[in-house]
């Protein structure tokens, strides 16, 4: 399924249903099921996600799950039945009101015990509460205090720490945030922090944190200083500096790097977009505040936000075109949000 089509369908879901499909915990459950049933190839994972997504989107009836599993994976009746019970209990019991189906009865008809899966419903509900609380604390733009309060003398150090935390670990999430208002709020705070007279300390600290960001954004082998390493946020910035220098660059230089450099030319289009946005953020940060006027006072670019790399979407959708094995997805899946 094309990622844009997937997002269109996702937008039509009630928000509470969407939470059960896209949460971090939902990703963990997907990993658990794929590992238990030995789904390791791209094709197998895609088939599994297609089944789950189609039922969430009401394009496939729950009663068809058993036969669809048999056809998709070639399992015998017992194995297919066991998997259908697990998927129904782990993925669909929590959204049975949305599906308008008796999920409990479906599990019982297949020989399972729906009471056993209530622990997943409780765990998922608790995880969603924790995720919401987590994001409220991690993203300064979601704090209800206004900008003046965040930048007051008593709060400014705490605000700086929150911004540093974003650049250390959450910048990828912010770049893919679907609400432009969220990014605009962070930019407003950033601009105020970076525009303080004779204060380069915070900016330099932020740049150093950004350069050490270990969030993986590309999955192919990445070469830095002649050695194979990981395609992290920080390593992409370092590679760009090594090849193009630490000078202000324009879109021509950026395009040449992501399309023609050794590391860049092997990327998917989605990965190139993510790398480009990381490098634009680096440029805007490094050359702030002088560059801000020509960039509409954006440090973090608003344009093209909402585009996710395959590693980000991971097992939260069917866009896993670049993920080789489940055990590798486990490592990357921990970094989602």
Distances (CA, A) of 1 to 51, 82, 321, 337: 12, 26, 11, 22
Classify residue 208: in a domain, yes or no.
yes
For the chain, the domain total comes to 2
Q: Is 322:328 a contact under the CB 8 Å cutoff?
A: no
> Residue 98's closest CA among 131, 63, 55, 67?
55
Q: 302: how many CB neighbours lie within 10 A of its CB?
A: 16
Do residues 269 and 197 both lie within one domain? yes
Do residues 299 and 150 both lie within one domain? yes
Classify residue 196: in a domain, yes or no.
yes
Question: How much is the pTM?
Answer: 0.49
Do residues 188 and 88 both lie within one domain? no
CA distance 335 to 337: 6
Do residues 154 and 10 both lie within one domain? no
Helices (H), the chain: 3-11, 15-22, 24-36, 42-56, 65-73, 77-87, 96-99, 103-109, 118-138, 147-150, 156-165, 171-175, 180-194, 201-211, 233-244, 251-260, 269-286, 310-313, 326-333
Classify residue 331: in a domain, yes or no.
no
Do residues 175 and 283 both lie within one domain? yes
CA distance 70 to 265: 39
The encoded tokens of residue 33 equal 């099921």
CA distance 310 to 325: 13
Do residues 119 and 160 both lie within one domain? no
Do residues 227 and 176 both lie within one domain? yes
Please give the helix or strand (H or E) that residue 229 lies within, else none. Answer: strand 227-232
Distances (CA, A) of 18 to 1, 128, 146, 337: 17, 11, 29, 15
Do residues 10 and 45 both lie within one domain? yes
CA distance 202 to 125: 39
- The whole-number pLDDT of residue 159 equals 86
Walk along the chain (337 residues) and give the pLDDT tens digit of each residue. 555 577 788 888 898 898 898 887 888 899 899 999 999 887 888 899 899 999 999 999 999 999 999 999 999 999 999 999 999 999 999 999 999 778 999 999 999 999 999 999 999 999 888 877 766 555 544 444 455 566 677 778 888 888 888 898 888 888 887 666 677 778 888 888 887 766 688 899 999 999 999 998 998 889 999 999 999 999 999 999 999 998 888 899 999 999 999 999 999 999 999 999 999 999 999 988 777 766 667 888 875 443 333 333 334 333 332 222 333 323 323 332 2
Classify residue 14: in a domain, yes or no.
yes
Classify residue 311: in a domain, yes or no.
no
Do residues 166 and 112 both lie within one domain? no
Classify residue 323: in a domain, yes or no.
no
Please give the helix or strand (H or E) that residue 231 lies within, else none. Answer: strand 227-232
Do residues 15 and 101 both lie within one domain? yes
Classify residue 280: in a domain, yes or no.
yes
- The whole-number pLDDT of residue 179 equals 61
Do residues 29 and 75 both lie within one domain? yes
Do residues 68 and 152 both lie within one domain? no
**CA-based radius of gyration for the chain:** 22
Q: Which domain holds residue 41?
A: 3-126
- The whole-number pLDDT of residue 155 equals 78
- The whole-number pLDDT of residue 313 equals 37
């Amino acid at each position: 399924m094309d990622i844009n089509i997937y997002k269109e369908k996702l937008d039509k879901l009630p928000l509470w249903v969407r939470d059960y499909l896209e949460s971090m915990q939902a990703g963990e459950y997907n990993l658990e099921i794929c590992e238990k049933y030995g789904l390791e190839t791209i094709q197998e994972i895609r088939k599994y996600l297609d089944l789950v997504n189609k039922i969430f989107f009401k394009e496939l009836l729950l009663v068809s799950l058993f036969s669809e599993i048999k056809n998709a994976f070639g399992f015998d009746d017992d194995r297919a039945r066991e998997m259908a019970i697990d998927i129904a209990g782990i993925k669909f019991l929590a959204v049975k009101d949305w599906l308008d189906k008796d999920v409990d009865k479906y599990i019982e008809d297949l020989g399972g015990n729906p009471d056993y899966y209530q622990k997943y419903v409780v765990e998922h509900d608790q995880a969603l509460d924790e995720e919401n609380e987590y994001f409220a604390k991690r993203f300064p733009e979601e704090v209800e205090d206004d900008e003046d309060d965040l930048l007051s003398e008593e709060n400014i150090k705490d605000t700086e720490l929150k911004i540093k935390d974003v650049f250390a670990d959450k910048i990828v999430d912010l770049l893919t945030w679907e609400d432009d208002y969220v990014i605009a709020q962070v930019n407003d705070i950033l601009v105020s922090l970076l525009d303080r007279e004779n204060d380069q300390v915070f900016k330099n600290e932020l740049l150093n944190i950004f350069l050490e960001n270990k969030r993986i954004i590309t999955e192919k082998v990445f070469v830095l200083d002649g050695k194979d390493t990981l395609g992290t946020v920080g390593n992409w910035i370092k590679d760009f500096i090594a090849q193009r220098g630490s000078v202000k660059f324009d879109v021509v230089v950026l395009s040449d790097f992501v399309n023609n450099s050794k590391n860049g030319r092997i990327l998917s289009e989605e990965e190139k977009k993510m790398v480009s946005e990381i490098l634009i953020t680096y440029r805007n940060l490094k050359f702030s505040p002088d560059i801000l006027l020509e960039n509409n006072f954006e440090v973090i670019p608003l344009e093209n936000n909402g585009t996710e790399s395959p590693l980000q979407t991971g097992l939260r959708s069917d866009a896993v075109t670049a993920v080789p094995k489940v055990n590798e997805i486990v490592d990357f899946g921990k970094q989602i949000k």
